[in-house]
């Protein structure tokens, strides 16, 4: 669809239980703003790619031979996108209204804004965390504190008020990530060294480094089921989370913060391994120990292929 204003990009991995409902919600609620839908299938082994091709003929389906990761899949979709704006959506999201007009309007009215994040909701309408503090030792503490507050009814009113305002933030969660295509291209897309996790934080940081603002808006809300693909390979993703975290710190944070993080994780996983042997904890410990011997090997191949056995 060459006239698309917005290109909606989804990366699918074995999402047969969720991707169909996601696509149906897009087709049901989106109108007035020209758009296209691009689905990148990351070498799914279920029938989700077939379901998409058979039931959604207007969707561009790009089948990959290998799962290169979430960021890499989104980059593939972006290369095929024709829209002025890119809207990266998780396959486990659901629309309940026409979300594109307010997002496009905000971008048009605020040329200083490069990225917009939406309000994320659970299926019962309760709030999910939609933003995060800058990734740092202090910032991660603040984000963890915020996540704990979400699970405490005592803080519910305060959280509702906090997320009721349009605001400039450090990071918006990648489940619903709206960005100018020109900015995405200027940043060379997602850093594919992040197989999973931290890729949107990295992109937000690089955008902010160039002077762009990141906006959170409660005017647009999207249901997010959360963690669908990750749950299927949870042990591997625990390892990948730590690898991505360590890589992010090496890329963006000071040497002392990198040292603090590594020391903390070494103690944490050494104690966990001593208390009760767990293969994933042991793999994370091996990764940390190897980083002291081979500090430049912190990449996707090293972590996933060498430590997922």
Angle between helix 48-55 and helix 19-29 axes, rounded to 10 deg: 30
Residue after which a domain boundary falls, among 224, 245, 263: 224
Q: How many domains does the chain have?
A: 2
Residues 197 and 282 in one domain: no
Q: Is residue 82 domain-resident? A: yes
| DSSP character string of the chain | -TT-SEEEEEEESS-TTTHHHHHHHHHHH--SS-EEEEEEE-S-SSSHHHHHHHH-TTSEEEE-SS---HHHHHHHHHHH--SSEEEEE-TTEE-SS--HHHHHHHHHH-TTEEEEEEEEE-TTS-B---EE--SSHHHHHHHHHHHHHHT-GGGHHHHHHHTTS-EEESEE-TTEEEEEHHHHHHTTSS-TT-SSSSHHHHHHHHHHHTT-EEEEEEEEEEEE---HHHHHTHHHHHHHHHHHHHHHHHHHS-HHHHHHHHHHHHHHHHHHHHHS--HHHHHHHHHHHHHHH-GGG-SHIIIIIHH--
Residues 118 and 178 in one domain: yes
Residue range of the domain that includes 107: 6-130+166-224
Residues 87 and 43 in one domain: yes
Cβ partners under 8 Å of residue 46, min gap 6? 14, 15, 16
Residues 295 and 198 in one domain: no
CATH code at 99? 3.90.550.10
Q: Is residue 303 domain-resident? A: yes
Residues 219 and 279 in one domain: no
Q: Is-contact 103 22, C-beta < 8 A?
A: no
Q: Is residue 240 domain-resident? A: yes
Residues 60 and 37 in one domain: yes
* 76, 82, 88, 92: CA torsion to nearest 10: -90
Residues 199 and 293 in one domain: no
Residue after which a domain boundary falls, among 189, 204, 224: 224
Low-confidence ranges of the chain (pLDDT < 50): 1-2, 228-233, 300-309
* 67-80 residue pLDDT tens: 999 999 999 999 99
Spatial CA neighbour of 68 closest among 101, 103, 39, 41:
41
Question: Looking at residue 280, what is its pLDDT?
Answer: 85
Q: Is-contact 289 246, C-beta < 8 A?
A: no
Residues 195 and 201: their CA atoms lie apart, in Å, by 13
* 148-206 residue pLDDT tens: 887 778 887 888 888 899 999 999 999 999 999 999 999 999 999 999 899 999 999 99
Q: Is residue 140 domain-resident? A: no
Residues 106 and 173 in one domain: yes
Question: Looking at residue 299, what is its pLDDT?
Answer: 54
Task: Please state the pTM of the whole predicted model.
Answer: 0.90
Residues 66 and 175 in one domain: yes
Q: How far apart, in Å, are the Cα atoms of 62 and each of 5, 88, 272?
A: 20, 15, 41
Residues 45 and 125 in one domain: yes
Q: Is residue 93 domain-resident? A: yes
Residue after which a domain boundary falls, among 224, 257, 290: 224
Q: Is residue 44 domain-resident? A: yes
Q: Is residue 149 domain-resident? A: no
Residues 216 and 266 in one domain: no
- SS3 labels along 130-194: CEECCCCHHHHHHHHHHHHHHCCHHHHHHHHHHCCCCEEECEECCCEEEEEHHHHHHCCCCCCCC
Q: Is residue 145 domain-resident? A: no
Residues 178 and 278 in one domain: no
């Amino acid at each position: 669809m060459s006239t698309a204003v917005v290109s909606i990009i989804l990366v699918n991995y074995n999402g047969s239980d969720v991707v169909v409902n996601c696509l149906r919600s897009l087709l049901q609620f989106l109108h007035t703003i020209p758009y296209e839908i691009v689905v990148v299938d990351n070498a799914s082994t279920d029938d989700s790619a077939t379901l998409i091709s058979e039931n959604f003929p207007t969707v561009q389906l790009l089948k990959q031979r290998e799962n290169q990761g979430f960021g890499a899949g989104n980059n593939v979709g972006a290369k095929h996108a024709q829209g002025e704006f890119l809207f990266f959506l998780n396959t486990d999201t659901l629309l309940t209204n026409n979300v594109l007009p307010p997002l496009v309007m905000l971008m048009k009215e605020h040329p200083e804004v490069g990225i917009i994040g939406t309000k994320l909701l659970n299926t019962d309408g309760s709030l999910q965390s939609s933003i995060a503090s800058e990734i740092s030792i202090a910032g991660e503490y603040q984000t963890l504190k915020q996540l704990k507050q979400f699970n405490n009814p005592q803080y519910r009113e305060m959280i509702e008020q906090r997320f009721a305002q349009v605001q400039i933030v450090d990071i918006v969660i990648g489940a619903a990530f709206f960005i100018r295509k020109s900015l995405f291209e200027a940043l060379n897309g997602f850093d594919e060294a992040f197989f999973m996790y931290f890729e949107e934080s990295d992109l937000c940081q690089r955008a902010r480094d160039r002077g762009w603002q990141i906006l959170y808006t409660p005017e647009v809300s999207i249901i997010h089921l959360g963690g669908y693909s990750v749950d299927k390979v949870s042990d591997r993703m625990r390892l990948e989370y730590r690898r991505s975290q360590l890589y992010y710190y090496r890329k963006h944070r000071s040497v002392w913060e990198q040292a603090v993080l590594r020391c903390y994780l070494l103690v944490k996983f050494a104690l966990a391994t001593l208390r009760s042997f767990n293969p994933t904890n042991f793999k994370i410990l091996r990764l940390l120990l190897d980083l002291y011997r081979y500090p430049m090997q912190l990449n996707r191949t090293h972590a996933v292929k060498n430590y997922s056995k």
